[in-house]
């Protein structure tokens, strides 16, 4: 999108919205290489405030989660990378201004670029570069298939519980592989096709993704409508190496749950998380609870997993 000028991008969005106000315009907020356009005129992430109808991909969250797409062996929050927590926080709030984020430690953007959270697309893989499955296989070849699968689930858990616009790469729910190909636009169907046998082979992954989608659709607290709403209702509690927790408070965005506590444990080991109040468990590891399970004083966090608690 950065090879187009801001005026053109705004005109495109205006014309499309006149055809159908539900049309959603988004793009890659970078130039790929360079452009003769002055930086202030480019349709890049930093200029999203000048493009009020347009959304852009958050490569901060993408690479914060799994490591740089340009370095095969680079790792991120889910795969053992260090100093990634601020980039994950940046994605969690939808790339807006939030008083609890240290923007100096965010990987690519040292200032917020989204005015409203929907202008940020949260994702971990897309058409370009390695699939998430392949990236983990290459960057963490020292780990077992089971461990890499847990990393994959945690990555998508972060995407689906973050503010903004959630984006899923087709086939990711089946652990899609392009057989290690980095950029497959010119490669045959044998590389790019979705093999539906993967749905059987990776049925548990499919079910986890499906449950995440249901959780997000059922609870509007995960997609608040404005930056002001996020600053009013989302508060980080713990941010340390491999551990991030935050609360969504006071029926955020009309959610039926009064308070929601989300905890990402990227570490390999289970650990206790101490609580000041009683909570009900919604998600623990790969288990989604449909009946109330009350916890007092503490909850045990499984390694490389997300836990979601709530209060009515």
Q: What is the pLDDT of residues 139-159, one digit of tens each?
A: 999 999 999 999 999 999 999
Q: Would residue 228 count as lying in a domain?
A: no
38 and 116 housed in the same domain: yes
pLDDT over 90 (residue 270): yes
CA proximity to 242, closest of 264, 271, 275, 270: 264
pTM for the complete prediction?
0.97
Q: How many domains does the chain have?
A: 2
Please say which residue of 222, 252, 274 terminates a domain.
Answer: 222
Per DSSP, the three-state class of 165 is: strand
Residue 99 belongs to a domain: yes
**Position 1 in a domain:** no
* Host domain of residue 286: 233-311
Residues 173 and 35 grouped into a single domain: yes
pLDDT in tens, 91-135: 999 999 999 999 999 999 999 999 999 999 999 999 999 999 999
Task: Output the domain CATH number for residue 281.
Answer: 2.60.40.1180
CATH number at residue 134: 3.20.20.80
Average pLDDT rounded to a whole number, residues 43-51? 98
- Measured between alpha carbons, how far is 221 from 218 in angstroms, rounded to an integer? 9
Of the pLDDT bands very low, low, confident and very high (cuts 50, 70, 90), residue 32 is: confident
Judge whether 150 and 304 are in contact, CB under 8 Å. Answer: yes
Sequence-distant (6+) residues with CB within 8 A of 251 are: 221, 257, 258
Both 162 and 289 in one domain: the answer is no
Query: Are residue 68 and residue 18 in the same domain, yes or no?
Result: yes
Distance, CA of 179 to CA of 22 (rounded, Å): 36
Residue 258 belongs to a domain = yes
């Amino acid at each position: 999108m950065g090879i187009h000028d801001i005026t053109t991008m705004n005109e495109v969005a205006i014309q499309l919205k006149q055809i159908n106000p539900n049309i959603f315009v988004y793009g890659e907020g970078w130039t790929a290489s360079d452009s003769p356009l002055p930086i202030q005129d480019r349709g890049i992430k930093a200029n999203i405030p000048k493009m009020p109808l347009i959304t852009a991909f958050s490569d901060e969250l993408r690479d914060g989660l799994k490591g740089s797409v340009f370095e095969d062996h680079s790792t991120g929050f889910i795969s053992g990378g260090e100093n990634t927590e601020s980039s994950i926080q940046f994605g969690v709030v939808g790339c807006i201004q939030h008083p609890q984020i240290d923007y100096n430690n965010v990987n690519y953007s040292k200032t917020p670029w989204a005015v409203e959270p929907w202008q940020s697309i949260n994702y971990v893989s897309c058409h370009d570069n390695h699939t998430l499955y392949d990236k983990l296989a290459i960057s963490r070849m020292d780990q077992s298939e089971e461990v890499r699968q847990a990393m994959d689930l945690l990555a998508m858990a972060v995407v689906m519980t973050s503010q903004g616009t959630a984006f899923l790469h087709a086939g990711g729910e089946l652990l899609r592989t392009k057989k290690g190909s980095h950029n497959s636009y010119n490669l045959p169907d044998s590389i790019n096709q979705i093999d539906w046998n993967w749905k059987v082979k990776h049925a548990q992954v499919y079910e986890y993704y499906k449950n995440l989608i249901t959780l997000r659709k059922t609870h509007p607290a995960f997609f608040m409508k404005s930056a002001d709403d996020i600053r009013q209702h989302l508060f980080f509690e713990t941010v340390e190496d491999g551990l991030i927790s935050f609360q969504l408070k006071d029926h955020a965005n009309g959610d039926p749950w009064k308070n929601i506590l989300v905890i990402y444990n990227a570490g390999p080991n289970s650990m206790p998380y101490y609580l000041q109040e009683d909570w009900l468990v919604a998600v623990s590891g790969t288990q989604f609870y449909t009946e109330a399970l009350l916890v007092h004083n503490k909850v045990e966090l499984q390694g490389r997993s997300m836990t979601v608690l709530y209060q009515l």
